[in-house]
Chain A
């Protein structure tokens, strides 16, 4: 094991300057492009533009240099101590016992320079507590072994270095086809729209000068369309959307390949290890006992293929530095049996297929129907004014439309109602929810932090309420059991927040009714989980 003199201060690898400069440039690239355009538009010569560029580069370079020079760290007495800062000197001590995650990553540039990036995370806070921008492999191994020596449960948990054989059991591995499908079924449409908008806002004159012929042709085509021709307008609209969709689709596939290339989920000694990425290969691990909740999701589009995405929530921020949500993707895209095997590994007792599902109050179906019907009917009903119907025709149109739309709304509402369900089994709460998409949550009762009962004005008239439960960390969606009878909701509420109390308060219910007998089993400490949030 590499060792150095204990307690001495170390600097980062000099490659940090290059990596830091690239990162700063990445942030400033937009300003750089704008500046270049501005100066060339103002008639600045090549030499002037170059001078501008030089000064422009000097600023981030100086920052990267100063940051490198000011950064020191040492490993001493069970803690990592870091000093950094150019104007404001910061000193930070991170006790090893508080460390939740260590993530090692290597961007393409870092790989070329033979350095690694290491992030150290504790619970709380939105970003990593310590970020070593560039370390030689030797120094990274030194930090990892220091942490392992002082934190036994992280023993043998360091991400594997290249060349070591994988002795872990592989739980899930993405094939090329999976990756392409994962990209193809995610739409980055919003991103494209925003990008096009920004592009147009900033470079309108350039765009118009570069693409006059093409744009002209499109304008002429649009003008030639009969202004009152519905089909012509529709064709243009559909074609426009289709081309945007195609571009966004290709970009989604490209992003998925970048992110999920070689995605492998492995397990070893109570830990989940994930490795993925094309250029920047990220390896991280999640302690199984620290998992607070599992969240599965599938979109309307993916459901046809039977694909699901599964995420975990931990108390720290996401182990994967690219995620902003505090959740870690365990399987970006898997079929049902994959997902079940991951679930079985994480919590062997959480058996999805053995859950006795309870439906929510049928009022949920009527509510969904009313919302769908009235929104759709008013939008479609107003369209009758466009067609220029006579009064009789309009009434007939409304009647037919109402009948048809009511049928369709009822069908959608019934399908939605059927997929909303919850169950309590072996100390876990299972929730299925969603409208066209499907969300599912598996939450160990022992990890529940708080619970909230909610009742809207309409729910009160029907005597139903919703139960929201919350675990540590920062998830994207709140787990909620909607529309259950208020007395039962109150009983369930008391039950889930007190897994270790036996004298739980129930309302109007014989013990054993409506899944409470299942909850009964969670009075013992559930398997594989601990009461603490960490």
Chain B
């Protein structure tokens, strides 16, 4: 087969260095998550932080009573543990912007990651099944998570959090359908 018989290969101009900034297709951007998801993530992290805080307080009291010599170590150690947790509560406000989903002609592309960037592609033909899940907090805000499964061994599943719930359901049905249609390509 000669080069001329191939249909046009589509080209994209991109001169940058960051993986996350390459558009999924020429003149198209990634679809962003529901903005409410920021609040859900922050609340979720805050909730776990409260538990961590109580746990540490109990530990501190125990150490203070049983080994008073270690009290300063426990005090500063506890704060050293807590400070990053405080910061991480607000991390979703940053990481939210880096999530993106795109449906292309025959695959689903997902990107995420602030410092460590990831772009993953799942061809429709490889989809085994698709799930949506939503916790109580997520249901209250009307968002849902979508998980797409393939037969792959290490990268067999990709989950997309924080989609508006009607979109998540539509996407789930669409992906299951195209998964069926493309299955034996």
Contact = CB atoms under 8 A, between A and B. Distances in A.
Interface of A: 123-124, 313, 315, 326, 449-457, 460-463, 465, 468, 470-475, 478, 486-487, 489-490, 493-494, 497-498, 500-509, 511-512, 520-521, 523-524, 531-533
Contacts of A520: 3, 6
- Pick the 6 closest A-B CB pairs, nearest first: A463-B17, A472-B151, A449-B152, A470-B152, A455-B19, A453-B119
SS class of chain A's interface: helix, strand, loop or mixed? Answer: mixed
B123 A506 contact: no
A121 to B, nearest CB: 15
A506 B11 contact: yes
Contacts of B184: 531-532
Given A457-B115, A497-B123, A524-B1, A506 B12 contact: yes
Nearest to A510: B11
Contact of B9 (A475, A506, A521): A506
Interface in B143-185: 150-156, 158, 183-185
Nearest to B154: A478
Contacts of B117: 453-456, 460, 465
Interface residues of B, number: 46
B22 A486 contact: yes
A489 to B, nearest CB: 8
19 contacts: A455-B19, A455-B113, A463-B17, A468-B154, A470-B152, A473-B151, A478-B153, A486-B22, A490-B19, A497-B107, A503-B7, A505-B11, A506-B9, A507-B22, A511-B6, A512-B3, A520-B3, A531-B125, A532-B183
A454 B17 contact: no
Contacts of A460: 17-19, 117
Interface in B1-38: 1, 3, 6-20, 22, 25-26
Contacts of A507: 11-14, 22
Given A455-B18, A470-B156, A531-B185, A504 B119 contact: no
Residue in A454, A509, A512 with the greatest tally of chain B CB atoms within 10 Å: A454
Nearest to A520: B6
A470 B118 contact: no
SS class of chain B's interface: helix, strand, loop or mixed? Answer: loop
B185 A500 contact: yes
A473 B121 contact: no
Given A468-B155, A471-B152, A506-B10, A452 B119 contact: yes
Residue in B7, B106, B151, B155 with the greatest tally of chain A CB atoms within 10 Å: B151
A471 B184 CA distance: 16
A487 B126 contact: no
A243 B153 CA distance: 39
Contacts of A490: 14, 19, 22, 119
B120 interface: yes
Nearest to A524: B1
B101 interface: no
B5 to A, nearest CB: 9
Contacts of A456: 115-117
Contacts of B126: 449-450, 533
A208 B158 CA distance: 54
Contacts of B118: 452-455
B7 A511 contact: no
B7 to A, nearest CB: 5
B141 to A, nearest CB: 29
B42 to A, nearest CB: 24
B122 interface: yes
Contacts of B119: 452-453, 490, 493
A456 B118 CA distance: 9
Contact of A475 (B3, B15, B22, B153): B153
Contacts of B122: 450
Contacts of B123: 450, 497-498
Given A471-B152, A532-B184, A533-B126, A508 B14 contact: yes
B119 to A, nearest CB: 4
A508 to B, nearest CB: 6
A533 B151 CA distance: 7
A494 B15 CA distance: 18
Nearest to B17: A463
B10 A449 contact: no
A154 to B, nearest CB: 21
Nearest to B6: A502
Contacts of A473: 151, 153
Given A461-B17, A508-B14, 7 more contacts: A451-B155, A454-B118, A456-B117, A463-B17, A502-B6, A502-B9, A531-B184
A244 B35 CA distance: 59
A452 B10 contact: no
Residue in A474, A497, A509 with the greatest tally of chain B CB atoms within 10 Å: A497
Given A449-B151, A493-B121, A508 B116 contact: no
A452 B121 contact: yes
Contacts of B155: 449-452, 468, 470, 478
B22 A504 contact: no
A457 B116 contact: yes
B10 A498 contact: no
